[in-house]
Amino acid sequence: MTRVLSVASECAPLVKTGGLADVAGALPAALAPLGVDMRTLLPGYPAVMDALGAADVVAEVGDLFGGSACLLAGEAAGLDLFVLDAPLLFDRGAGIYLNGDGVDWPDNPERFAALCRVAADLAAGSLGHWRPDLVHCHDWQAGLVPYYLKRNAVGVPSVLTIHNIAFQGLVPMDRAKALGIAKADLTREGVEYWGQISALKAGLLHADRLTTVSPTYARELMTPEFGMGLDGVLQSRKADLSGILNGIDLDVWSPEVDGHIRPYKTLRGKAANKAPLRAEFGLPEAAGPLCVVVSRLTAQKGLDLLLDALPALLDRGGQLALLGSGDPALEAAFASYDHPGVAVRIGYDEALSHRMMAGGDAILVPSRFEPCGLTQLYGLRYGTLPVVALTGGLADTVIPATPATMAKGVATGLQFHPVTADALSNALMQLCDLFETPKLWSKMQRNAMAQPVGWAPSAAAYAALYDDLVKAAE
């Protein structure tokens, strides 16, 4: 049995802002049948503390950036957890990263450095009886863990997974001493990034292996277009970088047993979910496809392009039902879109997102960059054909409708490139053409529903990676 400590700033279903939480929440159960004992270290946010309930005190950590703290161990939502109970750092309202004004908490560097210090101490065996064979770190919030392990010669290997390189954990240089970063490392060859410290760069340099959440994104990260200034670092670690696709929870996202919808096994059963979804959004009957969007409303997600491309869909009798929130300007633009074929809900509703996957004909994911993406996987699972940009995990998970793939009968969706409004418009017109050809459309839906989108292949890849690192460290 390989013991792995997973260090994450969020973990579904306890606390979630994005796909990182889904991965952190799904991996332990996916890896358990493969002989991996994974325990997850989380900050003691109010939601985590409430879910944890009764817990054992593993160790008194002492002062952490001005406040007392202790390490707890317990279970919640089927997860084996370590929780850093540090009220000064984590017992806050508003968001886990942002305050009530939507701005980063000013002490975020210290908050997550505290989490990293405790992770390194656990790996060193100085906190309690359980010691991991390997530490799996997620994004910049856990980026200092590999640095602390190497600096203190702990001897436990580490893996760092990049979920989104756009978030780099930048810290003013004058906080280096407080964070435990040696002066000798404050260089361009070290953790310095354009006059600041990058917690993510620290992890990229010191983790034994690097992964990201799709093979295409792994290649994209080594280019100036997608590397966000860290492409040179990643090029230097090319031999240690691999892309492992995310999966989805097949129990939570299963049209056959989904309690949020009218469950179905066949396309006829799927069709029964369409009229209720239209009614819920106040959309009339229409001849074209009902497209859905479940997304953060940001430029990264390409939703500004969709605004420009919508006429191509609406002119063909298509419709759009959108659920999301984010950039206020995009929220306002979609909410005020004056057309009977467009309906918008600002916010997030988990149950509604399931009904949209079941009732929609197609799901639109026009992201400018997308490390992996999960919504297109939900769409495949529910027979809701993805229309995606040719980037990152979207390129790896959707088989585009081309003459060759249609002739072979293997297409599962549509891809467009370049990532422009014109290219998206063309994809939407192609979507309408396919929708008007029921035999081809149904074949694509059946292909989509048959695609493997669970965690089994990815879990096997992680388990093999862990095994290689642990054996090398022996």
Could you give the CA distance from residue 434 to residue 242 in angstroms, rounded to a whole number? 36
Residue 16 annotated in ligand binding: yes
Start-to-end CA span in the chain (Å): 15
- Tell me the three state secondary structure of residue 294: strand
Residue found by looking up tokens 């993510």 in the block: 200
Q: Can you spell out the DSSP letters for 211-270?
A: EES-HHHHHHTTSTTTSTT-HHHHHHTGGGEEE------TTTS-TTT-TTS---SSHHHH
Could you give the CA distance from residue 150 to residue 157 in angstroms, rounded to a whole number? 9
Q: Which ranges constitute the DSSP H helices of 361-454?
A: 375-382, 392-397, 403-408, 421-435, 438-450
Centre a 10 Å sphere on the Cβ of residue 143 and count the other Cβ atoms it contains.
29
Contact residues for 2 (Cβ-Cβ < 8 A; gap 6+): 35, 36, 37, 133, 134, 463, 466, 467, 470
Sheet (strand 67-76) strand order: 56-64, 67-76, 79-85, 36-43, 2-7, 134-138, 158-162, 209-212, 241-243
Tokens encoding 303? 């939703």
Tokens encoding 243? 């892309």
Which residues line the annotated binding site for ADP-alpha-D-glucose?
16
Which residues line the annotated binding site?
16
